[in-house]
Structure 1
């Protein structure tokens, strides 16, 4: 059978299996095993355990559970609420300042936790009721938090970037740095839209500000500064040549647990056990997907599907930007149905040779891919962040949340266009800190 035809069959079967409700990792293993048996016989199954565990035999993978523990420790405290309150007190005089403070809190909390759902839950529990109380429309209150939560997979330290680095054998340090400027740019675009929409509405209730004294503004800072200091310390240790990403992640996880116990009195063994239990569950889920995706990639390569797709796309007589537009469309559609980690592990090994052949930088492409995944987090039918917000504020209809998040989707599209026009937005910082790639 022609490899391209076989590839189409594999794609259709994979989508059907994943839509059946089976877990992503189990689905990939079932599809991989089934096609290997059909085309190479049962003897091919003997390689699956070796490939599965071989994919997990990577020292860099240790950073994933450590960064997840960091996020879980922060999410188990009032750090999100304190961060929100601190920014709200300092930005209260800005028109639309409450939305801006929520977006700023989302950016900072996502940098600390690296989790989009955790960011939505932590900031949304405080921010959405307060915005609604102040007269902000439900769509603005819910949509801004849903969009702000997506920043967790772009702003470092990002588990998604670690997964991309492992899947494509790309420097994780460079990937982290590449996400900084685009992440700040997205935050700026989100805030500009919020300021404009608030100014345009001219609603007196929305523009009304609560007055805080300087004492009230400063008294909240000691609760949030230690966590921000940890993030800065982790990044400094990583890029200052002091430690590897895995080592800095371990130290960061320990410090976050200590601060959670000291500042927020997280002394209860039950609470600490919950942090470790939830972190272990999420880590195992991600590592299971990584191993299964390795087997899936092996199946595609063994049946010459990956090579044939790369050759076919390489033979297309189209402008490289048309090719990039096609890749972005594919990523958008895939992000609508699958979690970011699954899309990266399944698509990156196939797309990377194509991207490099077309003359695009793999570090730059990681940022573009991640923003596409952010759009998927607030787009139906999966749209994880939409459902998290709906769980926080069940009286706000899912349609209202979606409508409120659409302007932020437009901001992400603008960010992708700007990255295409100015690749240096993603590449300048890595090249400055770590030197140009050879």
Structure 2
């Protein structure tokens, strides 16, 4: 069978299997095993266990559970609420300081936790009731938190970037740096829209906030600054050549856990055990998907599907940007139905040779892909962040939350366009810190 036709058949079968309700990892294993048996014989199954475990035989993978423990330790405390309070007190004189405080808190907490749902929950529990009490429109109150929560998979340290780096054998350090300025760009666009929407609502009183004494401003900082210092320390250690990402993540995880115990009195052994238990479950889920995706990638390569698609794309007389638009549409649609990690692990083996053949930078593309995944987090039918916000404010309809999130989706699309026009937004920092990629 022609590899391109076979690739189409694999894609259709994969979608059908995943829509059947099985887990992503199991679905990938079923599809891989089925096509290998049909087109390569039963003996190909003998290689599957070896490929499965070989994909997990990577020191870089240790950073995933460590960063997850790091984020879980922070998410289990009042760090999110304290971060929100600190920003609100310090930005009180800034027009629209409350909504800016929420988005700023989302950005910082996302950098600390690396989790979009955790960011929505931690900041939303404080921010949404406060904005509603002050009279902010419900769409702005919920939409800003839902969109701000998506920053968790872009701003470093990001588990999503680690997964992309492992799947494409790309430098994780460069990927982390590539997410910094695009993350700040998104924060700026989110803030600009929130301020405009608030002003357009006609209630100018919303653009002013209460006043705080200097004592009130400083008293909250000791509970927030240690966590921020750890993030800065993690990034410095990684890029200063002091330690590898995995070693840095391990130290960061231990420090976050110790600070949670020291500052927030997390003495209950059961709570600490719960943090480790939940982190283990999430880590195993991600690692299972990575291993299954390795088998899936082997199947695609063994049946010459990946190579044939890359060759076919190379022979097409198509403008590379037309191709990039098509890839973005595909990623957005995939993000509507699947979690970011699954999309990256499934799509990266196919898309990487295509984008490199078309002349695009894999580091730059990682940022484009991640922003597309952010769109999926606040878009139906899955839209995980929408349901988290709905759980925080159940009296606000899901339709209102969705309508409030749509303008932020437009902000993300604008960010993608700006990155396409000015790719240096993503590539300049990695090159400045680590030198040109070889």
TM normalised by structure 1 equals 0.98
Does residue 292 of structure 1 match 2:292?
Answer: yes
Write the distance in 2 (CA, Å) between the matches of 1:395 and 1:315: 55
Q: Which residue of 2 aligns with 1:249?
A: 249
**Does structure 1 retain, via aligned residues, the 8 Å contact 2:114–2:156?**
yes
Q: Alignment partner of 1:267: what SS?
A: coil
Q: Alignment partner of 2:49: what SS?
A: helix
Q: Which residue of 2 aligns with 1:338?
A: 338
Q: CA deviation at 1:402?
A: 0.8
Per mean C-alpha deviation after superposition, the further-off stretch among 151-160 and 386-395 is 386-395
Q: CA deviation at 1:345?
A: 0.6
* Equivalent residue runs for 1:165-184 within 5 Å: 165-184=165-184
**Does structure 2 retain, via aligned residues, the 8 Å contact 1:151–1:374?**
yes
* Cα offsets for 1:319-352 (capped at 9, x unmatched): 1111111111111111111111011111111111
Q: Which residue of 2 aligns with 1:66?
A: 66
Name stretches of at least 5 consecutive residues in structure 1 with no aligned partner: none
**Does structure 2 retain, via aligned residues, the 8 Å contact 1:95–1:198?**
no
Moved over 4 A (4+): none
Does residue 86 of structure 1 match 2:119?
Answer: no
* Equivalent residue runs for 1:29-428 within 5 Å: 29-428=29-428
* Cα offsets for 1:239-274 (capped at 9, x unmatched): 001000000000000000000000000011001001
Write the distance in 1 (CA, Å) between the matches of 2:101 and 2:166: 34
Write the distance in 1 (CA, Å) between the matches of 2:14 and 2:361: 29
Q: CA deviation at 1:275?
A: 0.5
* Cα offsets for 1:194-215 (capped at 9, x unmatched): 1111122231452352221111
Q: CA deviation at 1:91?
A: 1.6
Write the distance in 2 (CA, Å) between the matches of 1:241 and 1:208: 45
* Cα offsets for 1:130-160 (capped at 9, x unmatched): 1111111111111110000000000000000
**Does structure 2 retain, via aligned residues, the 8 Å contact 1:135–1:205?**
no
Per mean C-alpha deviation after superposition, the further-off stretch among 73-82 and 313-322 is 313-322
Q: CA deviation at 1:277?
A: 0.3
Write the distance in 1 (CA, Å) between the matches of 2:75 and 2:153: 16
Write the distance in 1 (CA, Å) between the matches of 2:397 and 2:7: 39
Write the distance in 1 (CA, Å) between the matches of 2:296 and 2:436: 33
Per mean C-alpha deviation after superposition, the further-off stretch among 95-104 and 236-245 is 95-104
Q: CA deviation at 1:35?
A: 1.2
Write the distance in 1 (CA, Å) between the matches of 2:254 and 2:208: 42
**Does structure 1 retain, via aligned residues, the 8 Å contact 2:94–2:208?**
no
**Does structure 2 retain, via aligned residues, the 8 Å contact 1:95–1:199?**
no
Per mean C-alpha deviation after superposition, the further-off stretch among 189-198 and 88-97 is 88-97
Write the distance in 1 (CA, Å) between the matches of 2:204 and 2:151: 30
Write the distance in 2 (CA, Å) between the matches of 1:130 and 1:34: 53
The number of residues matched between the two structures is 438
Q: CA deviation at 1:423?
A: 0.8
* Equivalent residue runs for 1:23-34 within 5 Å: 23-34=23-34
Q: CA deviation at 1:38?
A: 1.4
Write the distance in 2 (CA, Å) between the matches of 1:358 and 1:303: 23
**Does structure 2 retain, via aligned residues, the 8 Å contact 1:91–1:97?**
yes
Write the distance in 2 (CA, Å) between the matches of 1:352 and 1:198: 41
TM normalised by structure 2 equals 0.98
Q: CA deviation at 1:306?
A: 1.2
Write the distance in 1 (CA, Å) between the matches of 2:204 and 2:179: 37
Write the distance in 2 (CA, Å) between the matches of 1:29 and 1:134: 51
**Does structure 1 retain, via aligned residues, the 8 Å contact 2:138–2:396?**
yes
* Cα offsets for 1:43-70 (capped at 9, x unmatched): 1111110000000001000000000000
Write the distance in 2 (CA, Å) between the matches of 1:92 and 1:47: 61
**Does structure 1 retain, via aligned residues, the 8 Å contact 2:96–2:209?**
no
